[in-house]
Structure 1
Amino acid sequence: MFIKTFTPVLLLTALVLGGCTPNANTNSANPEGATVPTEPTEAASPEDAGNVLVGLDGQSQLTLLNGWVEDRELHESAEIQASKRGSEEYVIVLSENKADFENLTIEQHSEITRGLLVESLTDPEITGPTDVTTVGSNPAVQYEIQGTIEGINVAYLHTTVETPTKYHQILAWTLPSSFERNKPELQQVIQGFKEVEAPAATESPAPSPAQ
């Protein structure tokens, strides 16, 4: 049974590119040209929501808050990828068809994908489930996970969302030192996710009969 999971090496790359080192405030280290804020920032309000990212499969979307942009450097195949590198916040969405898994519950999907992530971490700590039980109108299960990858500490919100036809794994992360400050905004980003119907395929008109 194959289940999509997060690639830790790409996580590490994202954090390094995002400017987690003291001197990572140059354009080469941070493509967005942003520096890490020295003062706590307030979580974005719902009024800041604007740009909508549609997943590669055309069946999911994420409404981004102010300062967030699409970021296709985080994962090789995630349907949705976005970041706010100035404050080292990242999110990806991995989607799978429920039809590919026989009698798999949302709790089991969360446990399997959570386990694959935890296996890649040193000294992992898992807290949860959290109070998040829905994303939009769909059932959800969420855990907080912290650990270390190659000497870099990372804090995740690992959220599994169940819809009638899919399981969506939403992974949002930041540095542990910024986790409590960034968590409200990460939660808002997660709640900006929803499943949509794929656009109907357009049929080419039939050729006219030969004269």
Structure 2
Amino acid sequence: MEQQPPSPSVPTEFFPLAQQESPKNMGDLSRSYDKATIFFTRWGAHILDHILLAFFLTGLLSLGGSIDKGSSGLFFLFFILAAIILCSYYVLLEGLTGYTIGKFTFRIIAVNAEGRPPGLWKSFIRSLIRLFEANAFLLGGLPAGISVLATDKRQRLGDLAANTYVVKVKDLNNVSKRQTTVLAVVFSIVAVLSIISMIFGIINFASRTPTEEIFYSKDKKFQITASSDWRKDSALHDEAGIEISNRISEKYVVVLSESKQDLDSSFTLQDYAQVIESNIQEAAENLSIDKPIRTVVDNQVAIQFIAKGDVGGIKLAYIVTLVETPTHFHQIMAWTKQSRFASLKQELQKVSGSFREVK
């Protein structure tokens, strides 16, 4: 019987990909990726998502700042809605599609162990841990990067907790071309809207004319005027008649009033200034006080001086303005950190000088 010659062996790489043995699960597929490649791919997607969210927030904050602050209910509802939208970005998109706009652009996808979108619960777990693990304002996303490089299956902590993986789209067989096309259109629209939102926000902020607001004392007898970025702040001084601040810019003003009925009839503005200086000396360490100057506030002679010292371990600078009216002595105290004083001095003096008695 004639023997057939043996068939030559053919390297497995000559077979079509579909005929080769597939990874047993997504964990095996993730393990096959080069650590540096998947790290920088995920990092790029993460940065793109944050840029688009920052664009969106710029427009959102600009719109929120345009709302009449007297409509407190609408103002609060607006920001609750904004928070819900931002928190849902990762939960809904990754849970239902496996993508964010960044992941879709870099052609990677979050999946469960079967290679399907994680679902809302797993996506919620991933997003919850992302708040500290990949937060740009908290360690700069360092924990997530270390975890991806250190784990065998290239997972961040959120992936480990939710049992999810991030894989390359080209390695999945169940990706619909129709779905990819639809998502490409939708994500492109969202990205364009985010960019438009950012442009709108920048234009709105740049064109907004600063306004001034009058702040009245609790008894409505006195007032001061400040720009619209100041707010009432009831936590500054228990006995103050007026308390305003901008805590972001670290600038503060309080007005304390002393009725002349509680003082001797011979008590003068100069006497009042000496009392206030003594009080400051008791409250501050390493204190320096500039020579008091005479000025005019509300058509009344006033005394003003600058004091710098350490209060509670913080280096503060004060502008103290003392005003006498027919019925009261008033202490207008404006302050900030010494490091900010040079840039804020003129504004603090202007606010202090705006003190008026309500006729």
TM-score range (shorter-chain normalised) is 0.5 to 0.7
Q: Which position in structure 1 is the counterpart of 2:227?
A: 65
Larger Rg: 2
The question of 1:108 aligning with 2:261 is answered no
Q: Which position in structure 2 is the counterpart of 1:125?
A: 288
Distance in 2, matches of 1:115 and 1:79, equals 21
* Segments ≥4 residues shifted beyond 6 Å: none
Show the 5 A alignment for 1:44-59: 48-59=210-221
Distance in 2, matches of 1:148 and 1:123, equals 6
Distance in 1, matches of 2:216 and 2:228, equals 17
Q: Which position in structure 1 is the counterpart of 2:178?
A: none
Listed one character per residue, the Cα deviations across residues 65-101 of structure 1 (whole Å, up to 9, x for unaligned) are 1311111110112000001222111000001111221
Give percent identity, aligned residues only.
37
The question of 1:153 aligning with 2:315 is answered yes
Structure 2: runs of 5 or more not aligned:
1-136, 139-208
The aligned amino acid for 1:78 is: A
User: Is the CA contact 2:302–2:324 (under 8 Å) kept in the aligned structure 1?
Assistant: yes
User: Is the CA contact 1:124–1:146 (under 8 Å) kept in the aligned structure 2?
Assistant: yes
Equivalent position SS for 1:51: strand
Q: Which position in structure 2 is the counterpart of 1:162?
A: 324
Listed one character per residue, the Cα deviations across residues 89-135 of structure 1 (whole Å, up to 9, x for unaligned) are 100000111122111110110110121111111111000213x5111
Listed one character per residue, the Cα deviations across residues 122-180 of structure 1 (whole Å, up to 9, x for unaligned) are 111000213x5111211110111011122111100111001111100000000111111
Distance in 1, matches of 2:358 and 2:312, equals 38
Of structures 1 and 2, the one with the larger relative CO (CA 8 A, separation 6+) is 1
The question of 1:183 aligning with 2:183 is answered no
Structure 1: runs of 5 or more not aligned:
1-24, 27-46, 198-211
Deviation at 1:50, TM superposition (A): 2.2
Q: Which position in structure 2 is the counterpart of 1:192?
A: 354
User: Is the CA contact 2:298–2:357 (under 8 Å) kept in the aligned structure 1?
Assistant: no
Distance in 1, matches of 2:247 and 2:310, equals 19
Deviation at 1:49, TM superposition (A): 4.8
Match of 2:335 among 163, 166, 173: 173
Greater percentage in strand: 1
User: Is the CA contact 1:140–1:161 (under 8 Å) kept in the aligned structure 2?
Assistant: yes
Q: Which position in structure 2 is the counterpart of 1:203?
A: none
Q: Which position in structure 2 is the counterpart of 1:140?
A: 302
Distance in 1, matches of 2:288 and 2:314, equals 14
Distance in 2, matches of 1:124 and 1:50, equals 33
TM-score scaled by structure 2?
A: 0.41
The aligned amino acid for 1:124 is: L
Distance in 1, matches of 2:253 and 2:334, equals 4
The aligned amino acid for 2:278 is: G
Distance in 1, matches of 2:339 and 2:215, equals 28
Equivalent position SS for 1:155: strand
TM-score scaled by structure 1?
A: 0.68
Q: Which position in structure 1 is the counterpart of 2:247?
A: 85
Distance in 2, matches of 1:110 and 1:99, equals 18
Q: Which position in structure 1 is the counterpart of 2:259?
A: 97
Distance in 1, matches of 2:304 and 2:329, equals 13
Q: Which position in structure 2 is the counterpart of 1:202?
A: none
Equivalent position SS for 1:78: coil
